[in-house]
Amino acid sequence: MDFQWTLSDLISYMSRNSGMLWEYFVSHVIMVLSGIGLAIVIGIPLGILASRHEKLGKVILTITNILQVIPSLALLVLLMLAIGLGAKTVIIGLLFYSLNPIVRNTYVGLKQVNPSYIEAGRGIGMSPLQLLVKVRFPLSLTYIMSGLRVAAVIAIGVVTIAPLVGGDGLGREIYAGINGQNPLRIYAGAIPAALLAIVSDIVLGYFQKKLKFDDRKSSKRTGKASKATT
């Protein structure tokens, strides 16, 4: 099959079905954002808790590790049996899959904060909550963003199998193409999903670099405060 002809035919197919593909794309993005949003709301506090209590932290990290290694299809099927078909099953599956990188990177980021910065904060009378909000958490944002990048790429990939448990998204077009032996439908679903993952990684990578630059400035300010207290 000639590639140029295939590309032209693919563009024509996507143009004719742009409304349907856009609907799948929006559904795909909504499920990803919902799953990752829940993982952030739950995962960051768990990472903070793990960094403050070592024994409990080991338990939390072990549980999230176990959730991470379960095959995505097996996890979604188990959730489907418990919850039923639909987007809710997919979103909860994404929550479980996204927890590990977010919890672990929050934990590592908080642990990597230079103790001298914490001592400087204590020296100027900061409470433990103020130290967390104004010193430790801002300095660990680079690590947290790294975990978010990993979670986003994983989530975008997992959502492509959402139709198997009653979900929507670009995976619906992919499986329709597989069932109908129509490669154009497979490409029409797979290419946007791949581009979404690539763009997400690039955008989040940009913000991660920006945060790293901001961390350097914050470290300098905290370092000055440390010198002022000594």
Which has the minimum average pLDDT: 161-175, 181-195, 214-228? 214-228
CA distances, 2 to each of 7, 179, 183 (Å): 9, 23, 13
| Max Cα-Cα span within the chain | 74
Token couple for 86 = 């639909």
- 3 falls in which pLDDT band (50, 70, 90)? very low
Of the candidates 156, 144, 141, the one whose C-alpha atom is nearest the C-alpha of residue 35 is 156
Instruction: Give the architecture-level CATH label for domain 15-229.
Output: Orthogonal Bundle (1.10)
Tokens describing residue 118 = 């914490």
Give me the torsion for CA of 13, 14, 18, 22, rounded to 10°: 140
For 180-218, write each residue's pLDDT tens digit. Answer: 888 899 999 999 999 999 999 999 999 888 877 555 555
Is pLDDT at 221 greater than 60 in this prediction?
no
Round the average pLDDT of the chain to a whole number and report it: 87
Alpha helical stretches, state H, the chain: 3-16, 18-52, 54-69, 72-83, 87-111, 115-123, 128-131, 137-159, 171-179, 183-229
Which residues 6+ apart lie within 8 Å of 80 measured at CB? Answer: 89, 165, 166
- Express each pLDDT in 57-104 by its tens digit: 999 999 999 998 999 889 999 999 999 988 999 999 999 999 999 999
pLDDT tens per residue, range 94-128: 999 999 999 999 999 998 888 888 888 888 888 88
pLDDT (0 to 100) of residue 33:
95
Q: Residue range 30-49: average pLDDT?
A: 95
- Residue 81 makes CB contacts below 8 A (sequence gap 6+) with none
Cβ burial of 206 (10 Å; 0-12, 13-18, 19+) is: exposed
87: nearest Cα among 97, 76, 78: 76
Please tell me the distance from the alpha carbon of residue 167 to that of residue 52, in angstroms, as a whole number: 38
Per-residue pLDDT of 148-157, as tens digits, reads: 999 999 999 9
Residue 37 has pLDDT above 90, yes or no: yes
pLDDT score of 130: 85
The CA–CA distances, whole Å, from 150 to 61, 74, 200 equal 16, 21, 10
The arithmetic mean of pLDDT across residues 141-151, rounded, is 92
- Whole-number pLDDT of residue 217: 55
Q: What is the per-residue pLDDT for 118?
A: 83
Q: Is the pLDDT of residue 50 over 50?
A: yes
Q: pLDDT band for 2, please (50, 70, 90 cuts).
A: very low
Residue-range domain boundaries for the chain: 15-229
- Where does residue 12 fall: left (phi above 0), alpha (psi -120 to 50 degrees), or beta otherwise? alpha
CA distance 152 to 33: 8
**In the predicted model, what is the mean pLDDT of residues 21-49?**
95
